[in-house]
A and B are shown apart, each in its own frame.
Chain A
Amino acid sequence: MIVGIIFIGLVAALIWSIFYGRKVIRTEKSDAVFGNPVRALGGWHWVVAGVCSILLFWFWFSWDAARAYFPIAGNELCQVAKLTRAANPIRSTFPMDDERLLLGTKLLDRDYRQIDHLQTQLASTNFSDADREMLQEIIDEMRTAMAAHADADELDSSVRMRMSAVAENIHGLAEALAQEGYPGPADPAMMAEALAQPGWGETSVELPPLPMTERGRKFDAASVTMQEISDQYLGVRNVGPALTARLDALEGRIAGFTIDASGDSADVAAREDLIKQIEKIFRRIDDGRIFPPDVTTDVEQALLVLDREQRRQQGGLRYINAIAMPGGEILAGNNACSEQGSGRWLPKPSDTLATFTRLANPNEGYKGFPLLWFKMKPISEMVAFIVPDWIADLVPGDYPRHGTDGQVQSNFKSKVYDIATGNFDSPSIPVPDGHIWDSIVRVLMGLFFGILLGVPLGLFMGLSRFAKGYFDPLVELYRPIPPLAWAPLILTIFGIQDDGKIFLLFMVAFAIMVISARTGATGTQLSKIHAAHSLGASNRQIIRQVILPNSLPEILTGIRISIGVCWGTLVAAEMLAGTTGIGFVENVARKQSDYEIIWMTIILMGLLGLLFDVMMRWVIHKTIPWRGKG
């Protein structure tokens, strides 16, 4: 219902933005010639059109729109799928659907090939001459027995009759399907049960399997009959007195052959293997699934008739199936129907939102940890994190030792140590918490250290021949290595918790910051440096007041690139190891094949990456408005 309204709203917004865009184009026609960059300015209505297109495609391709508009059709297509499934055992023996060969053709082709193989195996295996002759006779007889199955003269008349009966039944079913009243009045109790089923996608049973409509009941009943006909068809085997006698004789000869156990053990094994192969192929011939080619033609014709009738009875369902359920179809299983194709692997927007709402609830979270929330944290913990423990070692005096009375007398040194380790009472303050927060903190920490160390080094390298030459190999050697190639090593050294990931991200950000700061420093106009010199600036002042601000555009662009690369690296690093973070969520969901959570994390990552980038664009706009106007 809601999905339906949103879908219509999106269509309306898309159409409106296209018309608005066309109007703007018409009115602006004389303003700028093609190639003028002014033509690319503005255009938020095209952003609306783009967003609407993405969402519409998502609603459509994930079958969310189909579920909203055609829930009944879904139930009916489930019944159609049942009939298809019931007919499948027969259909698969004919060149229909995905098959290209008649089953008998296929079997003969394969078995002859295997017998040819046996022949070569026999030539290369060490048998006595008598044994070899006997086996050659068996193989020849197997060939003739197989050919006899396809021979209409050898066919027992009862087989043809039973095949005709199957064809008759299929024709009967097709006629019944065409009748108005088929399969008779509905049982009110069953109808009530069908209508009480949970709707499409409401439970783990994706589509309600019981027929809810007249059309559905028709296909449901037909599928039951078809199942019986299929069983009947599978029961028909090409057997008869003549063929049975022939096969019994062959079986007796195979059983009567004794393997010569003398000689090399490898030879004996080869002999045993050959006999095993012979028995295997014989059993297949004994199945009786090969008929003379004309025997099954009636059944094939009947199937085509049923097919036509089945399609006619579907009516509009076929168009709904083709248009509203792209990239797959509804399949029937033993006692349920399910989506297959994009309806299965692409989670629906409404389901994804529901999953997100569920996980966003801080009490729920994922693996006992919220996505993004806050927790109360004592100040002492933060003090312990910031103040290093060795501060206490610097305080003069010794740490206290316990006295003979067993009491510990604290002194100033031990009190400082208590503070440095956070061992004191303090109020708690709320701090952000959760998977998303952890990921963001890691990115920002890595970025922070990367900027803190990378920018000064980059500027230094841009200003000094020594620094450029000395540090260039270090930066340029490790920069081209994909960060994830470092991950196993770094995570081993620094641990799978925050330290390792932050160091990995630091490495990513550091190289980018060094290079952008260096480019910025080298790009400073000489006349500006000269001007600063003759205005009395010291070297330090020139770096702070001229070179650094002048490099700001490059540095900020570097930060923008770093954030993007760090974000990508982080998610992958979290998938490798760790217990929190958005990559961790996706990794666990991947192991459980939980497509909705995977999809949700993908969208979250996209949105967070976009958010970072928009923020950086805003910062760039605010801090370096002179860019490109100098």
Chain B
Amino acid sequence: MSDLTASELNMVFNTPHGGTVHALKDVSFTLKQGELLAVLGPSGCGKTTLLNIIAGFQHPTGGSLHLGDHEITAPGVDRGMVFQQGALFEWLTVADNVNFGLRMKKADPAETSRKVEEWLEIVGLQGFGRTPTYQLSGGMQQRVALARCLINDPDLILMDEPLGALDALTREKMQSLVLKIWKETGKTIMIITHSVEEALLLGERLFVMAPRPGRIHKEYHLPFADLGLTNDPREIKISPEFVETREEILTMIWNMEEEIMGKTETV
């Protein structure tokens, strides 16, 4: 019973020149437990602001946000974060990064190390516990970041373009890993991405956001995430349905960008 409920979220920034920027306007949605939501949109549409508000790093200027029964006002362990560059603590080993949350809670060390082993195995890093994180490749660093987030058993996992900096092959593998973890743990996941393909592949639900003011432009319910659990993602990607949706969304975003350019030119 930990649904994420956002109602009438508004975020207004004051610019240094005295103007205001409407980063989010009247954003309302409900994300049920166990859903996988992908958020897509051109830059400046407020996706990262939305994520930061849900994570508790920023406070909305209007509206309310609840996870389950309680209101979100500050960062908390019930919402795990995965960042684009991993944001690992490079002075710690892989294991110490993964168990960071448990150490902060002062959890039982034996239990902690058991859990670390478990999670390293799930993300495919068994045996890397003592490796310093700066020696890892980008994909491995993201696996560590995933494990570090999941070991805290959060209700909601927030991912801010987690695969954006990876090469195509690693990216595909990581996408499968995300789906696998989603399936096995049944966590609610919200993933922000720039890649339309990734959003379609991973998102059970998909928000396409529009800028100025930031808002949810269109919502999709997609079958590809479920298909991806059993089928080869490459086959999914060439299915007519997938291609059609992809082209539709690309055109939509293209038009938004055009509109922004037009606006800028008239100003």
Contacts and interface: CB of A to CB of B under 8 A. Distances in A.
Interface string B41-85: 000000000000001110000000000000000011101110111
Contact of A549 (B80, B89, B145): B89
A42 interface: no
B101 A536 contact: yes
Contacts of B154: 534
Interface stretch (A345-353, A471-479, A538-546, A577-585): A538-546
A563 B133 CA distance: 31
Contact of A537 (B81, B104, B132): B104
Nearest to A553: B91
Interface in A524-583: 525, 527-528, 530-538, 541, 545-546, 549-550, 552
A552 B91 contact: yes
A527 B100 contact: no
Contacts of B92: 549
B152 interface: yes
A527 B79 CA distance: 15
Given A549-B91, A626-B90, A630-B90, A535 B83 contact: no
A626 B132 CA distance: 8
Most chain B CB within a 10 A radius of its CB, from A530, A534, A629, A630: A534
B97 to A, nearest CB: 10
A459 to B, nearest CB: 16
Contacts of A550: 89, 91
Nearest to B106: A541
A625 interface: yes
- Main DSSP-derived SS at the A contact region: helix
Given A535-B77, A549-B89, A629-B134, A530 B104 contact: no
Interface residues of A, number: 23
B83 A536 contact: no
B148 interface: yes
A12 interface: no
Contacts of A528: 87, 89
B130 interface: no
A533 B87 CA distance: 12
B194 to A, nearest CB: 17
A39 B100 CA distance: 40
Contacts of A625: 132, 134
A624 interface: yes
B87 A531 contact: yes
A625 B158 CA distance: 31
Nearest to B104: A537
A525 B84 CA distance: 12
B105 interface: yes
Contacts of B90: 626, 629-630
A535 B134 contact: no
Contacts of A533: 56-57, 75
B134 A530 contact: no
A545 B101 CA distance: 11
Contact of B83 (A527, A541, A549, A624): A527
Contacts of A530: 55, 57, 75, 81, 83, 87
A352 to B, nearest CB: 45
Given A530-B81, A530-B83, A536 B89 contact: no
Interface in A574-630: 624-626, 629-630
Contacts of A552: 91
Given A534-B79, A629-B134, A624 B105 contact: no
Contacts of B145: 531
Those 3 A-B pairs whose CB atoms lie nearest each other, nearest first: A533-B75, A527-B87, A535-B101
12 contacts: A527-B85, A530-B55, A533-B75, A535-B77, A535-B100, A536-B77, A536-B104, A538-B104, A549-B89, A550-B91, A626-B90, A626-B132
Given A534-B55, A535-B80, A535-B100, 18 more contacts: A527-B84, A527-B85, A528-B87, A530-B55, A530-B83, A531-B81, A531-B83, A533-B57, A535-B77, A535-B101, A535-B149, A536-B104, A537-B104, A550-B89, A624-B91, A626-B90, A626-B133, A630-B90
